[in-house]
């Protein structure tokens, strides 16, 4: 099979590695990929949001399956476009992708189907905001409706802050939408639960916990994710049953009723309080860096899983997992998530190659004239597996120190809650 993988992050390098290991894979192209995928696939530098150009490249390379990594092309309807042109593709359709693309849509699905989530109000005007403020306590969460690259959520301490943040959204700070969702702040512990879904069935695809804040002990501004570990110890069998019954089943059924069934990876972002799950968000893709800790635990051939999914035969495949635990720490460019410099040289050395125990998944990297340089805020994901999280973390930190990239920084406390 010839496979095209869309995206360029650590998530895509992890997927690419597993696709590369499959017996049924022939050629892989990554659009655009990074320096890590360049070693195992052909990178094609192309704007994947230019659907008609993308189609030409897919046809030219005789691609049998397209796997979409990031949310933006999904929300913009890439799956519908490729399906119309008879190209096989793994990922949700445009309507279903609104679960991530519009917080207002996701919240209305929750409301109509009694899915446990924070109390909320969809606001289109200042008046709506003021009305909700009359009966709410602080902190209060303000969320821009559309995609906002992880920057659309603010936890507000007082009324003044709510009004300021809301105003910015109404004025168009996030181009994707001028609507917002105001919601109650939920206390508890966060966990991410993953599924792979076809039109008839779904299967568990791992659990993880990530660290979104840039600073140690989860302080400072939000990032795309500074590290993660899998499995999420907080998710037990009893909780899992509740997640499926109260959250997943009603959501998938609601989309089926609209004749727009969900397919692809589904990322269920949860807050757990007193052993009860509350839905915080849906993402219509794998998490990044969660994918980098889940994929190394997967035993089953990933391409076989994809091909069962697109044939709606997920029930026929047994997805097996290693008993090992897994962790990743993200090596970032200094300054991230604020301003940072690109094109900083990373000395290429044998420590940058993966081995049996440690995997280096590239994110913002590229080769320029044969030299490895940084090309983004999150640069490398140093990942390792083992039996004890503390040992795994020590092993990763040792590796990062060996890589010795002076332009970077990382969090040394990933997994602090469980270590």
Footprint of ligand GLY on this chain (CB under 6 A)? 210, 224-225, 283, 287-288, 290
**Residue with the two structure tokens 């909700």:** 132
| Nearest-approach distance from CB 251 to ligand GLY, in angstroms | 17
Q: Token pair for residue 302?
A: 């990933």
Beta bridge partners of 4: 29, 66
Q: Which does 73 bind (CB under 5 to 8 A by kind): ligand GLY, ligand AMP, none?
A: none
Is the separation of the CB atoms in 400 and 374 below 8 Å?
no
- Report CA-CA distances (Å) from 316 to 163, 202, 265, 311: 52, 11, 17, 10
| Nearest-approach distance from CB 159 to ligand GLY, in angstroms | 29
Nearest to 96 by CA among 278, 339, 295, 260: 260
Q: How far is CA 369 from the centre of its chain?
A: 31
Is the separation of the CB atoms in 66 and 407 below 8 Å?
no
Q: How far is CA 15 from the centre of its chain?
A: 12
Query: Which CB sits closer to ligand GLY, 72 or 290?
Result: 290
Residues 269-328 that bind ligand AMP (CB under 6 A): 269, 280-281
Q: Which does 290 bind (CB under 5 to 8 A by kind): ligand AMP, ligand GLY, none?
A: ligand GLY
DSSP 313: -
Q: Kindly give the pairing relationship between strand 65-68 and strand 3-7.
A: parallel
Q: Which does 288 bind (CB under 5 to 8 A by kind): ligand GLY, ligand AMP, none?
A: ligand GLY
Query: Which CB sits closer to ligand GLY, 11 or 18?
Result: 11
| Nearest-approach distance from CB 210 to ligand GLY, in angstroms | 5
| Nearest-approach distance from CB 303 to ligand AMP, in angstroms | 30
Q: Kindly give the pairing relationship between strand 358-362 and strand 227-230.
A: unpaired
Residues 117-146 that bind ligand AMP (CB under 6 A): 118, 141, 143
Pattern 332-371, ligand AMP, x by CB under 6 A: ----------------------------------------
Query: Which CB sits closer to ligand AMP, 115 or 186?
Result: 186
User: How many whole angstroms separate alpha carbon 124 and alpha carbon 170?
Assistant: 8
| Nearest-approach distance from CB 226 to ligand AMP, in angstroms | 13
Query: 315 Cβ partners below 8 Å, 6+ apart?
Result: 200, 201
Q: Which does 366 bind (CB under 5 to 8 A by kind): ligand GLY, ligand AMP, none?
A: none
User: How many whole angstroms separate alpha carbon 296 and alpha carbon 281?
Assistant: 25
Residues 204-263 that bind ligand AMP (CB under 6 A): 212
- Report CA-CA distances (Å) from 308 to 90, 101, 267, 272, 298: 10, 26, 19, 32, 16
| Nearest-approach distance from CB 373 to ligand GLY, in angstroms | 24
| Nearest-approach distance from CB 36 to ligand AMP, in angstroms | 26
Q: Which does 225 bind (CB under 5 to 8 A by kind): ligand GLY, ligand AMP, none?
A: ligand GLY
Residues 163-192 that bind ligand AMP (CB under 6 A): 183, 185-186, 190
User: How many whole angstroms separate alpha carbon 232 and alpha carbon 218?
Assistant: 17
Binding site for ligand AMP (CB under 6 A): 118, 141, 143, 153, 183, 185-186, 190, 212, 269, 280-281
């Amino acid at each position: 099979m010839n496979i095209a993988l869309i995206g360029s992050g650590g998530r895509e390098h992890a997927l690419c590695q597993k696709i590369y290991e499959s017996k049924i894979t022939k050629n892989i192209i990554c659009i655009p990929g990074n320096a890590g995928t360049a070693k195992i696939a052909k990178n094609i530098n192309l704007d994947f949001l230019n659907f008609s150009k993308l189609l030409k490249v897919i046809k030219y390379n005789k691609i049998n399956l397209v796997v979409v990594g990031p949310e933006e092309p999904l929300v913009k309807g890439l799956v519908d476009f490729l399906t119309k042109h008879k190209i096989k593709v793994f990922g949700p359709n445009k309507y279903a992708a609104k679960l991530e693309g519009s917080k207002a849509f996701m919240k209305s699905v929750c409301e109509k189907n009694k899915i446990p989530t924070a109390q909320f109000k969809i606001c289109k005007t200042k008046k709506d905001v003021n009305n909700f403020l009359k009966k709410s306590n602080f902190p209060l969460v303000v969320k821009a409706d559309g995609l906002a690259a992880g920057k659309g959520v603010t936890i507000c301490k007082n009324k003044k802050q709510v009004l300021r943040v809301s105003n910015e959204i109404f004025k168009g700070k996030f181009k994707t939408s001028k609507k917002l969702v105001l919601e109650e702040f939920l206390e508890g512990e966060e966990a991410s639960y993953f599924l792979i879904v076809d039109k008839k069935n779904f299967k568990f695809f791992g659990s993880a916990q990530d660290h979104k804040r840039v600073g140690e002990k989860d302080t400072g501004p939000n990032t795309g994710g500074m590290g993660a570990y899998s499995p999420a110890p907080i998710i037990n069998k009893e909780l899992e049953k509740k997640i499926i019954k109260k959250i997943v089943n009603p959501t998938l059924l609601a989309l089926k009723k609209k004749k727009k069934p969900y397919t692809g990876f589904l990322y269920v972002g949860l807050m757990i309080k007193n052993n009860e799950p509350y839905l915080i968000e849906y993402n219509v893709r794998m998490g990044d860096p969660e994918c980098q800790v889940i994929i190394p635990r997967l035993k089953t051939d990933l391409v076989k899983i994809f091909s069962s999914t697109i044939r709606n035969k997920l029930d026929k495949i047994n997805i097996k997992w290693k008993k090992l635990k897994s962790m990743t720490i993200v090596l970032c460019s200094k300054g991230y998530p604020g301003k940072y410099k690109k094109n900083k040289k990373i000395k290429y050395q044998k420590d940058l190659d993966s081995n049996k125990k440690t995997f280096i998944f590239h994110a913002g990297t590229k080769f320029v004239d044969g030299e490895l340089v940084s090309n983004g805020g999150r640069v490398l994901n140093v990942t390792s597996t083992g039996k004890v999280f503390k040992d795994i973390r020590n092993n990763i930190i040792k590796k990062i120190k060996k890589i010795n990239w002076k332009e970077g920084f990382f969090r040394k406390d990933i997994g602090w809650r469980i270590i």
